[in-house]
Amino acid sequence: MEISKKMQDALNDQIREELYSAYIYLGMAAYCESINLQGFAHWMKVQSQEELEHALKFYEHIHDRGGRVILQALNQPPAEYQGPTDVFAKTLEHEQYITGCIHRLYALAVEEKDYASLGLLQWFVDEQIEEEKNATEILNLLKMAGEKGQALVMLDRQLAQRGD
Protein backbone atom coordinates (compact mmCIF):
# COMPACT_ATOMS: atom_id res chain seq x y z
CA MET A 1 0.00 0.00 0.00
CA GLU A 2 1.36 3.39 -0.98
CA ILE A 3 1.95 5.92 1.77
CA SER A 4 -0.60 8.73 2.09
CA LYS A 5 0.45 12.32 1.40
CA LYS A 6 -0.42 13.27 4.99
CA MET A 7 1.78 10.50 6.43
CA GLN A 8 4.57 11.21 3.94
CA ASP A 9 4.61 14.89 4.94
CA ALA A 10 4.64 14.04 8.64
CA LEU A 11 7.51 11.57 8.18
CA ASN A 12 9.44 14.16 6.16
CA ASP A 13 8.99 16.52 9.11
CA GLN A 14 10.39 13.79 11.38
CA ILE A 15 13.41 13.37 9.12
CA ARG A 16 14.11 17.06 9.76
CA GLU A 17 13.71 16.50 13.52
CA GLU A 18 16.13 13.56 13.46
CA LEU A 19 18.70 15.45 11.38
CA TYR A 20 18.38 18.44 13.71
CA SER A 21 18.89 16.07 16.65
CA ALA A 22 22.14 14.92 15.04
CA TYR A 23 23.13 18.56 14.57
CA ILE A 24 22.32 19.42 18.20
CA TYR A 25 24.37 16.50 19.52
CA LEU A 26 27.30 17.33 17.26
CA GLY A 27 27.15 20.89 18.62
CA MET A 28 27.11 19.50 22.15
CA ALA A 29 30.15 17.37 21.28
CA ALA A 30 31.97 20.48 20.06
CA TYR A 31 31.09 22.28 23.30
CA CYS A 32 32.30 19.34 25.42
CA GLU A 33 35.58 19.25 23.50
CA SER A 34 35.98 22.98 24.11
CA ILE A 35 35.88 22.36 27.88
CA ASN A 36 38.22 19.34 27.63
CA LEU A 37 35.63 16.62 28.29
CA GLN A 38 36.62 14.21 25.53
CA GLY A 39 34.50 11.34 26.90
CA PHE A 40 31.38 13.51 26.93
CA ALA A 41 32.24 14.65 23.39
CA HIS A 42 32.63 11.03 22.26
CA TRP A 43 29.24 10.10 23.77
CA MET A 44 27.62 13.01 21.93
CA LYS A 45 29.29 12.13 18.62
CA VAL A 46 27.97 8.58 18.90
CA GLN A 47 24.54 10.01 19.73
CA SER A 48 24.73 12.29 16.69
CA GLN A 49 25.53 9.32 14.46
CA GLU A 50 22.60 7.39 15.93
CA GLU A 51 20.25 10.24 15.08
CA LEU A 52 21.48 10.21 11.47
CA GLU A 53 20.64 6.50 11.37
CA HIS A 54 17.14 7.30 12.67
CA ALA A 55 16.65 9.85 9.88
CA LEU A 56 17.67 7.22 7.34
CA LYS A 57 15.12 4.75 8.74
CA PHE A 58 12.37 7.26 7.98
CA TYR A 59 13.95 8.07 4.61
CA GLU A 60 14.00 4.40 3.57
CA HIS A 61 10.47 3.83 4.85
CA ILE A 62 9.08 6.67 2.75
CA HIS A 63 10.87 5.40 -0.37
CA ASP A 64 9.92 1.78 0.28
CA ARG A 65 6.29 2.88 0.39
CA GLY A 66 6.37 4.77 -2.91
CA GLY A 67 6.64 8.21 -1.34
CA ARG A 68 9.04 11.06 -1.83
CA VAL A 69 11.57 12.42 0.64
CA ILE A 70 11.91 16.18 0.65
CA LEU A 71 14.66 17.45 2.92
CA GLN A 72 14.01 20.62 4.89
CA ALA A 73 16.25 23.36 6.25
CA LEU A 74 17.81 22.95 9.69
CA ASN A 75 18.21 25.66 12.30
CA GLN A 76 21.58 26.38 13.85
CA PRO A 77 21.98 24.42 17.09
CA PRO A 78 22.98 26.09 20.36
CA ALA A 79 26.73 26.49 20.82
CA GLU A 80 27.00 27.42 24.50
CA TYR A 81 25.98 25.60 27.66
CA GLN A 82 26.46 26.18 31.38
CA GLY A 83 28.48 22.97 31.79
CA PRO A 84 28.00 19.21 31.39
CA THR A 85 24.94 19.10 33.65
CA ASP A 86 23.24 21.67 31.43
CA VAL A 87 24.23 19.65 28.34
CA PHE A 88 22.48 16.55 29.69
CA ALA A 89 19.50 18.50 31.00
CA LYS A 90 19.06 19.85 27.45
CA THR A 91 19.61 16.33 26.07
CA LEU A 92 16.81 14.95 28.22
CA GLU A 93 14.54 17.87 27.32
CA HIS A 94 15.22 17.30 23.62
CA GLU A 95 14.59 13.55 23.86
CA GLN A 96 11.28 14.23 25.60
CA TYR A 97 10.37 16.54 22.73
CA ILE A 98 11.27 13.83 20.19
CA THR A 99 9.19 11.31 22.15
CA GLY A 100 6.20 13.63 21.73
CA CYS A 101 6.89 13.85 17.98
CA ILE A 102 7.02 10.05 17.69
CA HIS A 103 3.80 9.67 19.68
CA ARG A 104 2.03 12.14 17.38
CA LEU A 105 3.29 10.21 14.34
CA TYR A 106 2.02 6.97 15.86
CA ALA A 107 -1.40 8.53 16.47
CA LEU A 108 -1.45 9.76 12.86
CA ALA A 109 -0.58 6.29 11.57
CA VAL A 110 -3.49 4.87 13.58
CA GLU A 111 -5.81 7.58 12.24
CA GLU A 112 -4.63 6.95 8.66
CA LYS A 113 -4.86 3.15 9.17
CA ASP A 114 -1.23 3.03 8.01
CA TYR A 115 -0.33 -0.33 9.49
CA ALA A 116 2.99 -0.46 7.65
CA SER A 117 4.17 2.68 9.45
CA LEU A 118 2.99 1.40 12.84
CA GLY A 119 5.74 -1.24 12.97
CA LEU A 120 8.43 1.32 12.25
CA LEU A 121 6.96 3.76 14.75
CA GLN A 122 6.70 1.12 17.48
CA TRP A 123 10.45 0.63 17.14
CA PHE A 124 10.87 4.38 17.69
CA VAL A 125 8.48 4.37 20.69
CA ASP A 126 10.69 1.71 22.29
CA GLU A 127 13.87 3.53 21.26
CA GLN A 128 12.69 6.73 22.93
CA ILE A 129 12.25 4.91 26.24
CA GLU A 130 15.94 3.99 26.05
CA GLU A 131 16.98 7.49 24.93
CA GLU A 132 15.21 9.18 27.85
CA LYS A 133 16.49 6.56 30.31
CA ASN A 134 20.13 7.05 29.21
CA ALA A 135 19.92 10.85 29.39
CA THR A 136 18.21 10.69 32.81
CA GLU A 137 20.82 8.32 34.25
CA ILE A 138 23.74 10.48 33.13
CA LEU A 139 22.01 13.66 34.29
CA ASN A 140 21.39 12.10 37.71
CA LEU A 141 25.04 11.02 37.96
CA LEU A 142 26.16 14.55 37.11
CA LYS A 143 23.86 16.00 39.76
CA MET A 144 25.32 13.62 42.35
CA ALA A 145 28.95 14.02 41.25
CA GLY A 146 29.01 17.72 40.55
CA GLU A 147 31.00 19.34 37.79
CA LYS A 148 34.41 19.43 39.41
CA GLY A 149 36.90 16.88 40.61
CA GLN A 150 37.55 13.19 40.35
CA ALA A 151 33.93 12.08 39.92
CA LEU A 152 33.58 14.18 36.76
CA VAL A 153 36.84 12.77 35.37
CA MET A 154 35.64 9.23 36.10
CA LEU A 155 32.28 9.90 34.40
CA ASP A 156 34.09 11.42 31.41
CA ARG A 157 36.15 8.23 31.09
CA GLN A 158 33.02 6.08 31.42
CA LEU A 159 31.24 8.00 28.64
CA ALA A 160 34.29 7.57 26.41
CA GLN A 161 33.57 3.83 26.46
CA ARG A 162 30.23 4.15 24.64
CA GLY A 163 30.28 1.91 21.57
CA ASP A 164 30.00 3.36 18.10
The CA–CA distances, whole Å, from 56 to 51, 60, 101, 152, 155 equal 9, 6, 17, 34, 31
Confidence at 162, pLDDT banded by 50, 70, 90: confident
Task: Look up residue 82 and give its DSSP letter.
Answer: S
Q: Is residue 76 part of a domain?
A: yes
Q: Is residue 49 part of a domain?
A: yes
**Under a CB-based contact definition with an 8 Å cutoff, are residues 107 and 100 in contact?**
no
pLDDT per position as a tens digit, 32-44: 999 999 999 999 9
Confidence at 154, pLDDT banded by 50, 70, 90: confident
pLDDT per position as a tens digit, 85-131: 999 999 999 999 999 999 999 999 999 999 999 999 999 999 999 99
pLDDT per position as a tens digit, 6-61: 999 999 999 999 999 999 999 999 999 999 999 999 999 999 999 999 999 999 99
- Looking at residue 61, which CATH number applies to its domain? 1.20.1260.10
Q: Is residue 47 part of a domain?
A: yes
Q: Is residue 164 part of a domain?
A: no
Task: Look up residue 83 and give its DSSP letter.
Answer: S
Q: Is residue 81 part of a domain?
A: yes
- Domain hosting 90: range is 5-159
If one counts the domains in the chain, the total is 1
- For residue 95, what pLDDT is reported? 98
